[in-house]
Amino acid sequence: MDNAFTSHVIEDRSYVSYIKREIHSGVVRAKFSERKVGEIDIVVSEITSNLIKHAARGELLYRIETSDSESTIQLLGIDDGPGIADMPKMMKDGESTTQTLGQGLGAIHRLSDIAQVYSKPKWGTIVYSMIQERRNKDEVISPWIKELNTVSINALCVPKIREKVCGDGYCVRESQTGVMLFFADGLGHGPQAKEAVDIACDHFMNLRETDPSEIIRRLHENIRKTRGLVGTVAVFDTKNNELSFCGVGNIHSRFYTGIESRNLMSFNGTVGMNVPTSISASKAVLQKNQHLIMCSDGIQTRWDLSRYPGIFKYNAMVLAGSIYKDFTRRNDDASVLIAKVS
């Protein structure tokens, strides 16, 4: 199971052509139509050129997934530049701060199925784009924006620098009363960490248990031959308006109701190696517009959403990108998962 983003730090304009060729080849392999490939080329070009023009450097994250019925690409452009003081003005064609044509942000919005820009002066800018080729027009949009029983789930998983795979991962399945979510960080990084998470996800998808602590115990027994992981199980019972939660290890989790938050504590230990015998699930009442945010230890724990005014109005990938931008450690796999009750 691979749900990771590819990361490119862009510090020189000459590197942009390499990234554009890589993404172009990826979307062709993913069976996007010729027209969509051309549109994606334009969006990638606009995002990457903005990183250089306005911030001198930045990071491009992208992920491509394909199935028999659809292909999807997600793009995040992240920079620490001067930011945009007047967003409505800069969204108009012809507006530019660098003496260019000023059509970049407008083109991104026109060519994307979902496009959002979040920016603050002296902080920087995040540009998010999602483009989809739906070969079956009756399919629900986006394989990652999973809207199951009024719960939408988005995740940003990024491998450690110079690693080809991410040792963080997640999986989601429906239950009779709602949605069940497993989020994990394999010990260390690289292929063996990913293997531990993949095996755990395979077992998670087939378990009949609905209590998070029992699920953790079952996963613990089933992945003993791997290097182990830290992980969290969250069960959204949307029929009875209840969240059940149990975690082992240093996955950092917060549950937001409006601006108020509650830290969800995990038990010490390592799934697959040593799990306390007394683990039990904690519970919370579900309400509309609540957010469960979980981060692997590649993200520092001191993040504070009050730094991002109005962020809950944006797509959850913009929020995930904001936390990643300011708090990634850069020395490990880094992941942010956001589940929203809608």
Quote the pLDDT of residue 181.
96
pLDDT value of residue 324: 98
- The DSSP bridge partners found for residue 58 are 10
Burial group, residue 47, by CB count within 10 angstroms (0-12, 13-18, 19+): buried
Provide the pLDDT for residue 89.
60
- Which residue do the tokens 């394999």 mark? 186
**DSSP letters for 39-55:** HHHHHHHHHHHHHHHHH
Distance (Å, whole) CA 72 – CA 62: 10
Q: Which residues pair with 253 in a beta bridge?
A: 264, 294
Q: How would you classify the pairing of strands 124-134 and 114-120?
A: antiparallel
Q: Region of 142 please: left (phi>0), alpha (psi -120 to 50) or beta.
A: left
Question: DSSP letters along 313-324, please?
Answer: GS-HHHHHHHHH
DSSP string, 181-203: EEEEEESSSSHHHHHHHHHHHHH
Tell me how far apart the alpha carbons of residues 86 and 144 are, in angstroms, rounded to a whole number.
31
Residue 74, sorted as left (phi over 0), alpha (psi -120 to 50) or beta, turns out to be beta
CA 50/CA 75 separation, integer angstroms = 14
Q: Are the C-beta atoms of 104 and 49 separated by less than 8 Å?
A: yes
Rounded Cα gap, residues 317 and 216, in angstroms: 27
Please give the model's pTM, rounded to 2 decimal places: 0.92
Helix (H, G, I), strand (E, B) or coil at 286: coil
Predicted local distance difference test score (pLDDT) of residue 87: 60
- Would you write out the chain's pLDDT as a tens digit for each of its 342 residues? 578 999 999 998 889 999 999 999 999 999 999 999 999 999 999 999 999 988 889 999 999 999 888 999 999 999 999 998 766 565 555 445 544 434 578 899 999 999 999 999 999 999 999 999 987 655 444 444 445 668 999 999 999 999 999 999 999 999 888 999 999 999 999 999 999 999 999 999 999 999 999 999 999 999 999 999 999 999 999 999 999 999 999 999 999 998 789 999 999 999 999 999 999 999 999 999 999 999 999 999 999 999 999 999 999 999 999 999 999 999 999 999 999 998
DSSP label of 249: S
Domains in the chain (CATH in brackets) are 6-134 (3.30.565.10), 146-341 (3.60.40.10)
Q: What is the largest CA-CA distance in the chain?
A: 65
Q: Can you give the pLDDT at residue 199?
A: 98
pLDDT of residue 143: 42
DSSP 248: E
Per-residue tokens: 242: 């209840």
* Number of neighbouring beta carbons within 10 Å of residue 88: 8
Report d(CA 232, CA 246) in Å as an integer: 6
Read off the tokens for 223. Answer: 């992945």
